[in-house]
Amino acid sequence: MHKHHEKVTPLQLGTVIASTIIGVSILALPRFVVLEAGKGAPLASLVGITLVFIGLLGIVMLGRRFPEQTLIGYNQIILGKPFGSVISVLFIVYMTILLGLEARQFGEVIAGSLLTNTPIQIPIFIIIFLCAVSGLQNVSTFVYIHLLYIPLIVIPIILIIFPSLKDVAFYHLTPIVGHHPSVTKIVQGGLIAAQAISNVFIISMLIPSMKNPKKCIKSSIVGFWIGSITVFIIVTMCLAVFGEEEIKEMFWPTLILGRMVNIPAELLSRVDAILLISWIYAVFTTLLSVYFFVIRGVAELFRFERYRLLTLLIFPVVFAVALIPNDIFEMYEFLLYVTKYGLILTIGYPVFLWLIACLRRKREES
Amino acid sequence: MKKVCSIFIFLSFFILSGCWDQYELEERANILGLAIDLVEQEDIKEENEVTHPEGEFPNEKRHTFYKITAQIAVPGKIKLGPEGGSEGSDKTSWVIQTTGHTLKDAMANLQQQLAERLYLGHLQIVIISDEIAERGIEDVNDYLGRNPEVRRTAWMVVNKKDASKVIQAAPPLETVPSLYLSDTLDNAVKFGKLPREYLGRFWIDLSDKGIDGILPAVKVVDNDRIMVDGFALFRGEKMVDRTTPIEIGVLMNLTESNAGGYSTPVEVQDGIYFIESQERTNNIDVTLKDGEPTANISVKIDAILDEQINTDSLNDEVINEIEKEANKKMEKLSQKLVASLQDTGSDALGIGARIRAKHGGYWDKEIQSDERWIDVFQEMDISITYHYRIRRAGIRSQ
């Protein structure tokens, strides 16, 4: 184990969770949840949030049990070295693919709605580049970046969504279980919502760097709910304003919500620009978290702690993954497919691991 | 490591500085207003071969020819702002016309004729002729809804026959006519004379089940301004009817709850009193009775008395009388409007959407589609009650 000079406080841990949750997906998420669950989308996202919450609790409990270890460490201690390493590799591969696809989704939004003539490679390249140069080698830089951006993400989003309250039609929201209600629909919508926010488990890389790893529970719960409630509000407001039928026709309902907002007194007529800016912050912090996980994971797994070099080596891989899908439809299909099976890793696996650890009475030897 | 850093810095000069989408304001042809008409093929002198060779346009289900009239402002090239003063708006903006099989085809033709790139981000108002509205406007909606530049706060209005006339209406007050037109509508919303039914809201109503869209209908007055002339009522994507301006107020009483701006004359005893609504709250309550939907609409209006004619005996009793009379009158007008909505089969009140929300099980089992809903809507009972309260009567006591 490498030494941890930098110490993460519980507040910082909470902000990392919140800003990791609010990510690229918030623009498209309402559509995909509504496609599955219809008017039940808010309920479905609550189900999804609860699912991820269970996964997060798994991670946090593991962190309390093994205060000196990261996810890679838990794998090896609990499952034994060879099998644990295989799982760790799986995690790293999954996160690398996710990083590439999320960067691609970012590129699609930029190319599709903002800079229509810019080659899509450019925004993708720049966002990964930004993550790569902003100090993945240093835990405290990483958490301070999150701490800096979280107010710039949450506050503008809430402020922009607030004026759209006057466009809300309450008949868009009931019945809350949706039409032709069924448990499958709600669960499937919930899974989609869970897919969008499931990358919170990256905090397992941070827990060993905390001043007092045992204190991670409360702050991660608060951070988790701040992020999740923001996501929930976004889904609910999009549904309340647009209704299920109209949402199905747009790629990025949240972006269009920003376009419909009229700030009172007409100070600004196109507030969607502000929404996009804070969304770009959100994308940056989320991708940074995923990148951080990949770099730290590889470093620990192969006991190779030259972070800069690793960052540089992984960069082209991520970029290549981002360029795989041919078009926007294929990209979303691919992304949903990958994250759907990723849920096994991100939610199911931590809980499973924790149960095994309890059963086998594994604890860190101190 | 230093080398790597310097390579990165070197690269970033190329990557971070350039901007593919750089369009200076002066290089954009900002379309502020767009009028869309249908024309007959015979009226087209020659087909522009911009997107396809002549006669080889793919077969449409429904043969259409659009004529679009765009009002364009190119900042810096066409003089804007106060200059000279006496010049009307006809000299400060540029109105151009072209045709095409579809909206995109027409826009491509338009672009071919211009040096600047067309930009729809400042589009304020889209005027469609009632011919298009009657045929169905899904094609127009597709182009405008797909284009990322178009704002959903723009207005779409329906004009009788020639939509391009609205664009050409040249108000002497403002240098850019389209801005004046959209201001007319925006302010009408503020005064409570028009619901917030701009493009985005209209599209939502079109997509929603159990509610039909409405668009403001306008007409040109004296060639230099427009008047909101009622509503165009839609059934699905097709316009089915137009209302009168007074019915805008009635419809808004039933569905909207912002400031009410319409005044009504009420006759009590020998006097005629004009009352103007100031604030309204309404409630559409839907219930299922023995499997049949019914709706109760109750409207509460706070009004002020603006004018008294033929008499000068205003007192508390008379006020009570006026309130009762106003209730009766508005109930009658509303019932007439609702009856005509049921007649044409356009659920502009959104009763279906409310039933769908409140009695989801009933909708899922019995109704399911918009078409079936309209059948039910035409048969259902809708009762309306008004509750006027006159708060004050200006600064005269009698």
Mean pLDDT across the stretch A305-317?
Answer: 87
- Determine whether the interchain pair B151/A270 forms a contact, defined as Cβ–Cβ distance below 8 Å: yes
Mean pLDDT across the stretch B172-200?
Answer: 80
> Which residues from chain B sit within 8 angstroms of residue A181, using beta carbons?
360
pLDDT band at A105 (very low <50, low <70, confident <90, very high): very high
Mean pLDDT across the stretch A87-107?
Answer: 92
What stretch of H or E contains B73? Answer: strand B66-73
- What is the C-alpha R_g of chain A? 20
Q: Helices A139-161 and A272-301: crossing angle, nearest 10°?
A: 150
Q: Which of residues 166-225 of A touch B (CB under 8 A)?
A: 166-167, 169-175, 177-181
- Determine whether the interchain pair B356/A171 forms a contact, defined as Cβ–Cβ distance below 8 Å: yes
- Determine whether the interchain pair B16/A256 forms a contact, defined as Cβ–Cβ distance below 8 Å: no
Please, is B59 exposed, middle or buried when counting C-beta atoms within 10 Å of its C-beta (0-12, 13-18, 19+)?
exposed
Per-residue model confidence as pLDDT tens digits over A77-93: 888 888 889 999 999 99
- Determine whether the interchain pair A126/B15 forms a contact, defined as Cβ–Cβ distance below 8 Å: yes
Give Dmax over CA atoms of chain B in angstroms: 97
Decide if pLDDT at A336 tops 50.
yes
pLDDT band at A99 (very low <50, low <70, confident <90, very high): very high
Closest CA to B346 of B215, B253, B198, B189: B215
- Determine whether the interchain pair B200/A133 forms a contact, defined as Cβ–Cβ distance below 8 Å: no
- Determine whether the interchain pair B20/A312 forms a contact, defined as Cβ–Cβ distance below 8 Å: no
d(CA B379, CA B35): 37
Least confident of A67-76, B17-26, B53-62: B17-26
d(CA B260, CA A155): 34
Per-residue model confidence as pLDDT tens digits over A132-183: 888 666 888 888 889 999 999 988 888 888 888 888 888 888 888 888 888 8
What stretch of H or E contains A357? Answer: helix A349-359
Percentage of residues in chain B with pLDDT exceeding 70? 88
Percentage of residues in chain A with pLDDT exceeding 90? 34
What stretch of H or E contains B318? Answer: helix B316-344
Please give the mean pLDDT across all residues of chain A: 87
Decide if pLDDT at A52 tops 90.
yes
Chain B's closest residue to A115, CA to CA, is B21
Q: Which residue has the higher pLDDT, B107 or B26?
A: B107
Most confident of A226-235, A259-268, B259-268, B371-380: A226-235
- Determine whether the interchain pair B353/A116 forms a contact, defined as Cβ–Cβ distance below 8 Å: no
Q: In this predicted structure, what is the pLDDT of residue B192?
A: 79
Distance (Å) from the alpha carbon of B156 to chain A's nearest alpha carbon:
14
Find the CB nearest A245 among B4, B201, B207: B207
Decide if pLDDT at A48 tops 70.
yes
d(CA A5, CA A1): 12
Per-residue model confidence as pLDDT tens digits over B316-331: 888 888 899 889 998 9
pLDDT band at B85 (very low <50, low <70, confident <90, very high): very low
d(CA B129, CA B35): 8
Q: Is A128 on the interface with B (CB under 8 A)?
A: no
d(CA B99, CA B50): 11
DSSP state of B59: P
* Region of residue B144 (phi > 0: left; psi between -120 and 50: alpha; otherwise: beta): alpha
- Determine whether the interchain pair B364/A180 forms a contact, defined as Cβ–Cβ distance below 8 Å: yes
Task: Answer yes or no: are the C-beta atoms of B180 and B190 closer than 8 Å.
Answer: no
Q: Which residue has the higher pLDDT, A31 or A4?
A: A31
Least confident of A86-95, A245-254, A266-275, B41-50: B41-50
Decide if pLDDT at A43 tops 80.
yes
The residue among A117, A128, A166, A171 with the most chain B CBs within 10 A of its CB, best to mutate, is A171
> Which residues from chain B sit within 8 angstroms of residue A180, using beta carbons?
364
Decide if pLDDT at B76 tops 80.
no
pLDDT band at A1 (very low <50, low <70, confident <90, very high): very low
In this structure, which amino acid lies at residue B329? K
Q: In this predicted structure, what is the pLDDT of residue B86?
A: 46
pLDDT band at A54 (very low <50, low <70, confident <90, very high): very high
- Determine whether the interchain pair B8/A172 forms a contact, defined as Cβ–Cβ distance below 8 Å: no
This prediction has a pTM of 0.89
Decide if pLDDT at B361 tops 80.
yes
